[in-house]
């Protein structure tokens, strides 16, 4: 009786007649009705001083969460009314006397009463449940005193057949109970893998739905209890591996804290699938908020239209359209990861777009229609000789590293996949004199053959490398052009560095550890380390950068280099790469023109990390602790202080 204030599809005119006529009205007399403008929303109509005030009650998501306008969000329509009965809380007055009629719909309530469907489900009585549903039982979404629906109860009890029947009848699988849990939360808590499969595969349950009190998603529940099979299944259906709780806890941290180290290891070493989207479809570089909004509006204010831009003040920003309103969400960087608000840590901007295209996860809607950036201006013309520039080949015919003279047959040759590398820097664009030419955004993206992160390995078998020409020799060893065959049978050209034994044997363990760390570096201005291999000595396999060192290019082709273009482009790219290394807490220690390689005429990459060192989080500089060969003349003068 306390919640009988719902009048269904009552018109505005009839509402005002009902509140003004009949019983002498008093301030705070009210009723709730359906919204005529927005499906699933409601309207609160209140009498105050001879006038009727109408407030829009907005529904948030598919569950029973409501707010009046943009005010406090409350779980349950009846709880929202109770909130405004206690105090005005921004309304013209507190709600006093309801105009009685019906109770609100079951799917809008936080609490209810146990009914026959609840009892039959809890007892596992499939026959009774089937008969009720066959007769068109209208209380399918009704909640018991704990705010739980029949789907909650079937999921907690492990009643697979009943759950399938409820889902087939249209039951909602994403509703929360008074504890903030969905049916999927309970299935993960109770290690019910078959129920988890049914909820997701048959019911379309949201794998990233949060507990309203803790921020836990189903993966937190499974990981914290060591339910490894459920963790593996959730990851396989697209659940991000690094969601955060309200306390910023990650699933692997919860697993470790409870002693489930196998589960924690699975999560820590999990590599996200290669993203299927490309930033060429939605990344616009530096763009103001107003310019981004105008672009969205020019596409007709369609829900889910979006782009990603770079703001000089806020870094990367996702700008999207929903309900004729543009939204701007800063994309923050946390070490190597990206995140929006308190959303999951994701590997790249591409993974951000892919994740929020599959589910809103806190955004007003999913990302649906990307806006492509305008075409980049063409490069200026150069002397034709540079277009055909190649390094002179050296001696050494191709041979394969293997035991003895035997070689393994190669699988059928596959074409190396190529991916576009975006050259927009993480800092604001710089200008060249008065031309206002953006050093990064005006350069075309480079297709470079890089290994699939999902197949990367630290040690590459010798038989998967065929060494070819010598590209260079130095005090530490030689550099070869080589052919690398991945475990998937894909072949790509790489550079292989060999090292003299005296430079490796004394500290091989440290060298391997540093190489593992450097394999995690991923930036378009850094030469990518692919892996290590063992020959007569240790081999380092890295991305092939075909035009050789910047120093050689300057010495042999000075007429092809403009101080007003190439020099500035290379300098900006080197600065961009060094800024990335600083962000990853790496010190290079030997930055020189001989260690800058050219992938193309207009793409420089920093190489030769033989002297690099990783800084610990507590350090701001590197202190050498043992003797060695140091290029003192390249050091900054202030390093003398340390």
Residue ranges of the annotated binding site for ATP are 497
Q: Give exposure, 445-467, as e/b (b: 16+ Cβ within 10 Å).
A: bbebbbbeeeebeeebeebbbbb
Torsion, Cα 310 314 318 323, to 10 degrees, reads: -130
Beta-bridged to residue 316, according to DSSP, are 310
Q: What is the DSSP string of 239-297?
A: --S----TT---HHHHHHHTT-HHHHHHHHH--PPPP---GGGTEEEE--HHHHHHHHH
Beta strands 305-311 and 369-370, pairing class: parallel
Contacts of 488 (CB under 8 A, 6+ apart): 414, 452, 455
Beta strands 42-48 and 30-34, pairing class: antiparallel
DSSP label of 364: S
**What is the rounded CA–CA span in Å between residue 327 and residue 319?**
6
**CB atoms < 10 A from the CB of 231, how many?**
28
Beta strands in 583-630 (DSSP E): 586-587, 596-600, 603-606, 613-614
Q: Token pair 């052919």 is at which residue?
A: 483
**CB atoms < 10 A from the CB of 204, how many?**
10
**What is the end-to-end Cα distance of the chain in Å, rounded?**
77
Specify binding-site residues: 497
Decide if 33 contacts 66 (C-beta within 8 A): no
Beta strands in 323-445 (DSSP E): 325-334, 337-340, 369-370, 399-400, 419-421
Structure tokens belonging to residue 17: 């007649």
**What is the rounded CA–CA span in Å between residue 439 and residue 573?**
8
Active site residue 590: yes
Element (H, E) at 572: helix 566-583
Q: Single out the residue of 148, 145, 179, 183 nearest to residue 167, CA to CA.
A: 183
**CB atoms < 10 A from the CB of 490, how many?**
18
Structure tokens belonging to residue 226: 């060591």
**What is the rounded CA–CA span in Å between residue 639 and residue 642?**
6
**What is the rounded CA–CA span in Å between residue 166 and residue 474?**
72
DSSP label of 21: S
Active site positions, annotated? 590
């Amino acid at each position: 009786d306390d919640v009988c204030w719902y009048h269904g599809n009552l018109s505005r005119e009839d509402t005002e007649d009902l509140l003004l006529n009949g019983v002498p009205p008093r301030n705070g007399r009210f009723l709730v009705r359906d919204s005529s403008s927005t499906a699933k929303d409601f309207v609160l109509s209140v009498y105050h001083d001879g006038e009727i005030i109408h407030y829009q009650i907005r529904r948030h998501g598919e569950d029973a969460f409501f707010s009046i306008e943009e005010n406090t969000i409350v779980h349950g329509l009846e709880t929202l009314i109770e909130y405004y009965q206690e105090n005005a809380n921004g309304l013209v007055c507190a709600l006093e006397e309801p105009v009685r009629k019906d109770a609100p719909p079951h799917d809008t309530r936080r609490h209810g009463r146990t009914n026959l469907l609840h009892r039959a489900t809890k007892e596992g009585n499939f026959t009774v449940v089937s008969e009720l549903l066959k007769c068109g039982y209208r209380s399918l979404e009704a909640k018991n005193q704990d705010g739980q629906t029949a789907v909650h109860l079937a999921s907690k009890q492990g009643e697979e057949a009943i759950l399938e029947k409820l889902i087939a009848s249209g039951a909602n699988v994403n509703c929360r109970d008074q504890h903030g849990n969905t049916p999927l939360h309970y299935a993960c808590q109770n290690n019910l893998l078959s129920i988890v499969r049914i909820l997701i595969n048959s019911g379309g349950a949201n794998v990233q739905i949060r507990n309203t009190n803790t921020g836990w998603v189903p993966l937190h529940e499974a990981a914290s209890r060591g339910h490894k099979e459920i963790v593996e299944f959730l990851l396989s259906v697209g659940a991000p591996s690094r969601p955060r709780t309200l306390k910023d806890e990650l699933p692997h941290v919860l697993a470790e804290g409870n002693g489930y180290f196998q589960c924690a290891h699975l999560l820590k070493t999990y590599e996200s699938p290669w993203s299927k989207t490309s930033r060429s479809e939605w990344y616009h570089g530096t763009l103001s908020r107003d310019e981004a909004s105008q672009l969205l509006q020019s596409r007709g204010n369609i829900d889910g239209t979006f782009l990603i831009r770079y703001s000089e003040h806020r870094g990367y920003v996702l700008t999207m359209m929903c309900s004729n309103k543009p939204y701007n969400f800063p994309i923050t960087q946390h070490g190597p990861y990206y995140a929006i608000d308190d959303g999951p840590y994701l590997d790249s901007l591409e993974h951000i777009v892919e994740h929020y295209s599959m589910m809103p996860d806190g955004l007003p809607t999913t990302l649906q229609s990307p806006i492509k950036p305008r075409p980049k201006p063409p490069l200026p013309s150069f002397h034709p000789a540079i277009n055909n520039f190649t390094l002179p080949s050296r001696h050494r015919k191709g041979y394969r590293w293997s035991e003895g003279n035997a070689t393994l047959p190669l699988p059928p040759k596959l074409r190396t996949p190529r991916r576009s590398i975006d050259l927009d820097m993480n800092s604001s664009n710089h200008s060249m004199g008065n031309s206002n030419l953006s050093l990064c955004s005006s350069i075309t993206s480079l297709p470079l053959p890089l290994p699939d992160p999902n197949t990367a390995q630290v040690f590459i078998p010798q038989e998967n490398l065929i060494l070819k020409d010598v590209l260079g020799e130095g005090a530490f060893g030689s550099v070869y052009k080589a052919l690398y065959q991945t475990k998937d049978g894909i072949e790509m050209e790489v550079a292989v560095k060999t090292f003299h034994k005296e430079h490796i044997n004394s500290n091989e363990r440290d060298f391997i550890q540093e190489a593992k760390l450097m394999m995690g570096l991923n930036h378009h201005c850094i030469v990518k380390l692919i892996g290590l291999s063992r020959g007569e000595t240790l081999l380092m396999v890295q991305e092939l950068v075909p035009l050789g060192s910047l120093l050689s290019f300057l010495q042999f082709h000075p007429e092809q280099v403009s101080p007003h273009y190439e020099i500035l482009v290379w300098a900006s790219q080197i600065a961009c790469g060094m800024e990335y290394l600083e962000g990853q807490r790496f010190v290079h220690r030997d930055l020189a023109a001989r260690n800058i390689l050219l992938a193309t005429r207009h793409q420089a990459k920093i190489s030769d990390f033989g002297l690099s060192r990783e800084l610990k989080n507590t350090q701001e500089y590197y202190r050498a602790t043992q003797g060695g060969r140091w290029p003192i003349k390249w050091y900054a003068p202030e390093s003398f202080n340390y």
